[in-house]
Structure 1
Amino acid sequence: MRYQFPYASKGQVIGLLGGSFDPAHEGHAHITREALKRFGLDRVWWLVSPGNPLKTRGPAPLADRVARARQVMQHPRVDVTDIEAHLGTRYTAQTIARLQAIYPQVRFVWLMGADNMAQFHLWQDWRGIMQSVPVGVLARPGQRISARMSRAAALYAPYRIAGRYGQLLAHAHAPAWSFVNVPMNDASSTAIRAKGNWSTQAG
């Protein structure tokens, strides 16, 4: 793979967008561009995961998903990586801890769509994630209310940075999170698979 361990310089703020990207689509690219603007990030790394522990169906082969992601997300400040496969981590909390150890002079911000925020309390050591890095949440179709009413949003309400001040998130100390509404893009990996437009589906 071209990027096993991306380069990062001291003091950079890097957003991490993880997922199975099965397949990557314009919706992923859209929230990535918005995150760069809204949260004051220097770069974003896509973490194309070997598999999603919350999904029972296996994803398409990793190499296929990475190749597709690099076609979809072409931006000078975005790196598409399969770093979790090289780290051997299965859960986000583990990945973040390893990245912080490898890149001690870099600030990381975890990025996710509002749909993930709604179920964030189901993630392995989700409180540990909130305590270790700032979290940027980007609204996606139909998930604004459920994300704002989620268990994580309620528990960490005192640490929320208003969306209009989202640029502060990059240098905030965890726990800190910000929810921003972005222009909607309703592209969906599930819909793409259902239409048969993703030729490398897993069996």
Structure 2
Amino acid sequence: MRIGLYFGSFNPIHTGHLIIANYVAYNTDLDKVWFVVSPQNPLKTSSTLLNEHDRFHLVELAIKDEPRLRASNIEFSLPRPSFTVDTLAFMGEKFPTQEFAIIMGSDSFQNLPRWKNYMHIVQHYPIYVYRRPGHDITDTYGARVEILNAPMLDISATDIRKWIKEGKSVRYMVPDGVINYIQENNYFR
């Protein structure tokens, strides 16, 4: 089975993430897409980060009815901050019969040379890159890259957190079950 790993903090997961994951699951040679919820991104600050177990639960709520999508908390048990190269090695040991690929936006792909042991990643894993406006792919860094024209929504988790804090509606930007859970638990207030 070929599995695409979609890494992120998903703070919170939103419709933009879901559209990309669903598009990749049904429009590439990958069989499934796993949302790998990162406890801490080494390139981001974590001051506004919701607890990883809560973010994982929100991802589960968002994808519960889609058989090709899965939430993964595999990085929760790894040393922090979690580095993609270490997660891939661990997943290879835990799931030796699976083939893994990485899914990322062209904005993140531009940062690839800043990643720990990125040459190992590009030599051993295909990378599915969805285009983000303003972030053209000018160099593949030697990776096996498949460029995707997935439908894009210009929304961000940062904006969603801000609107929730301001008491504004985020309906249609976040799945209903996720919104309800966020409201019930007073997240991002």
Alignment TM-score, normalising by the size of structure 2? 0.80
Task: Name the Cα RMSD after superposition.
Answer: 1.9
Tell me the CA shift for residue 38 of structure 1: 2.7
From 29, 32, 35, the equivalent of 1:40 is: 29
From 79, 82, 89, the equivalent of 2:70 is: 79
2:153 matches 1:185: yes
Alignment TM-score, normalising by the size of structure 1? 0.75
Other structure's SS at 1:148 match: coil
What stretches of structure 1 of length at least 5 have no aligned partner? Answer: 1-11, 157-174
Name the residue aligned to 1:135. 127
Other structure's SS at 1:155 match: coil
2:54 matches 1:64: yes
Other structure's SS at 2:164 match: coil
What stretches of structure 2 of length at least 5 have no aligned partner? Answer: 166-181
What pairs up with 1:1-203 in 2 under 5 angstroms?
A: 12-58=1-47, 59-74=49-64, 75-88=66-79, 90-140=82-132, 142-143=133-134, 146-149=135-138, 153-156=139-142, 175-196=143-164, 199-201=186-188
Give every structure 1 segment of 4 or more consecutive aligned residues whose post-TM-superposition deviation is greater than 6 Å: none
Aligned counterparts of 1:147 and 1:101: Cα–Cα separation in 2: 34
State the AA in 2 paired with 1:82.
N
Tell me the CA shift for residue 154 of structure 1: 4.5
Q: Size of the alignment, in residue pairs?
A: 167
Aligned counterparts of 1:30 and 1:41: Cα–Cα separation in 2: 15
What percentage of residue pairs aligned between the two structures are identical? 31
Other structure's SS at 2:153 match: coil
CA shift digits 1:133-153 (9 cap, x unpaired): 11101123x24xx2412xxx2
